[in-house]
A = this chain, B = another copy of it.
Amino acid sequence: MGNCQVTFLPHNRAITVPEGESLIRAAMQAGVHINASCGGEGVCAKCRVQIEKGTVTGGLSDRFSAEEAQRGCRLACQARIGGDVTVRVPVESAIDRIVFDKQFTPRRTARIRQMNFESLKERGLFIPPVEKTYLELPLPDAQNNMPDVTRLIEYLKLQGNEHKLEMTIPVIRRLPSILRENQFKATVTLVRPVRDDGKTLITNIQAGDTTAENYAIALDIGTTTIYAQLIDLSSGESLAEAGDFNGQISYGEDVISRIIYAEKPGGLETLQKTVVATINKVLGIIIKQAGVSRQNISTITMAGNTTMTQLLLAIDPRYLRRSPYVPASTLYPPFQAHTIGIDLDEHVIALLYPAIASYVGGDIVAGIMGTGLYRDDELTLFLDIGTNAEIVIGNKDWLACTACSAGPAFEGGGIEFGMRASTGAIEDFSIDPVTYEPMLVTIGDVRPKGICGSGLINMVALMFETGVINNRGKFNRDHGTKRIRANRGIWEFVLAWKDETQIGRDITLSEIDIDNLIRAKGAVYSGCMTLLEEVGLSMDAIERIILAGGFGSYIDLEKAMTIGLLPEIDPDRVIFIGNGSLMGARMSSLTNRIRKDVVEVTKRMTNFELSETPSYMDHYVAAMFIPHTEIEKFPGVKRRIKAWKDLQAIPGR
Spell out A's residues near B (CB within 8 Å). Answer: 140-151, 166-169, 172-173, 175-177, 180, 197, 313-316, 318-319, 323-333, 335, 355, 357-358, 609, 611-612
Residues of B near A313 (CB, < 8 A) are: 169, 172-173
Apart from A147-B329, A172-B315, 9 more pairs, CB < 8 Å: A147-B326, A149-B331, A151-B326, A168-B333, A172-B332, A173-B314, A176-B315, A177-B316, A197-B197
Q: Cβ of B143 and Cβ of A328 under 8 Å apart?
A: no
Residues of B near A176 (CB, < 8 A) are: 315-316, 318-319, 326, 328
Q: How far is the CB of A185 from chain B (nearest CB, A)?
A: 16
Residue pairs across A and B with Cβ atoms less than 8 A apart, 8 shown, are A145-B326, A150-B329, A167-B329, A167-B333, A172-B315, A172-B328, A176-B316, A176-B319
Q: How far is the CB of A310 from chain B (nearest CB, A)?
A: 9
Residues of B near A612 (CB, < 8 A) are: 142-143
Q: How far is the CA of A197 from the CA of B319 in the complex (A)?
A: 35
Q: When A and B form their complex, which 3 residue pairs have the shortest distance between CB atoms, in order from nearest?
A: A149-B329, A145-B324, A147-B327
Q: How far is the CB of A104 from chain B (nearest CB, A)?
A: 48
Q: Cβ of B324 and Cβ of A141 under 8 Å apart?
A: yes
Q: Cβ of B147 and Cβ of A330 under 8 Å apart?
A: yes
Q: How far is the CA of A167 from the CA of B330 in the complex (A)?
A: 11
Residues of B near A331 (CB, < 8 A) are: 149
Q: Cβ of B333 and Cβ of A140 under 8 Å apart?
A: no
Q: How far is the CA of A100 from the CA of B332 in the complex (A)?
A: 77
Residues of B near A151 (CB, < 8 A) are: 326
Q: How far is the CA of A147 from the CA of B306 in the complex (A)?
A: 11
Q: Cβ of A357 and Cβ of B145 under 8 Å apart?
A: yes
Contact of A326 among B140, B323, B611 (CB under 8 A): B140
Which residue of chain B has the shortest Cβ distance to A139 in the bound complex?
B324
Q: How far is the CA of A37 from the CA of B166 in the complex (A)?
A: 60
Residues of B near A168 (CB, < 8 A) are: 333
Q: How far is the CB of A256 from chain B (nearest CB, A)?
A: 17
Q: Cβ of A326 and Cβ of B173 under 8 Å apart?
A: no
Residues of B near A149 (CB, < 8 A) are: 328-331
Residues of B near A314 (CB, < 8 A) are: 173
Q: Cβ of B324 and Cβ of A142 under 8 Å apart?
A: yes
Q: How far is the CB of A354 from chain B (nearest CB, A)?
A: 9
Q: How far is the CA of A146 from the CA of B605 in the complex (A)?
A: 12
Q: Cβ of A166 and Cβ of B333 under 8 Å apart?
A: yes
Q: How far is the CB of A313 from chain B (nearest CB, A)?
A: 6
Which residue of chain B has the shortest Cβ distance to A315 in the bound complex?
B173
Q: How far is the CA of A335 from the CA of B331 in the complex (A)?
A: 21
Contact of A142 among B172, B323, B335 (CB under 8 A): B323
Residues of B near A173 (CB, < 8 A) are: 313-316, 328
Which residue of chain B has the shortest Cβ distance to A173 in the bound complex?
B315
Q: How far is the CA of A335 from the CA of B357 in the complex (A)?
A: 31
Q: How far is the CA of A197 from the CA of B196 in the complex (A)?
A: 11
Residues of B near A172 (CB, < 8 A) are: 313, 315, 328-329, 332
Residues of B near A319 (CB, < 8 A) are: 148, 176, 180
Contact of A169 among B140, B169, B332, B609 (CB under 8 A): B332
Q: How far is the CA of A68 from the CA of B297 in the complex (A)?
A: 91
Q: How far is the CB of A410 from chain B (nearest CB, A)?
A: 26
Q: How far is the CA of A330 from the CA of B332 in the complex (A)?
A: 30
Q: Cβ of A609 and Cβ of B145 under 8 Å apart?
A: yes
Q: How far is the CA of A149 from the CA of B357 in the complex (A)?
A: 12
Residues of B near A611 (CB, < 8 A) are: 142
Q: How far is the CA of A367 from the CA of B328 in the complex (A)?
A: 43
Residues of B near A316 (CB, < 8 A) are: 173, 176-177
Which residue of chain B has the shortest Cβ distance to A314 in the bound complex?
B173
Q: How far is the CB of A600 from chain B (nearest CB, A)?
A: 14
Which residue of chain B has the shortest Cβ distance to A144 in the bound complex?
B324
Contact of A175 among B325, B328, B609 (CB under 8 A): B328
Q: How far is the CA of A151 from the CA of B332 in the complex (A)?
A: 14
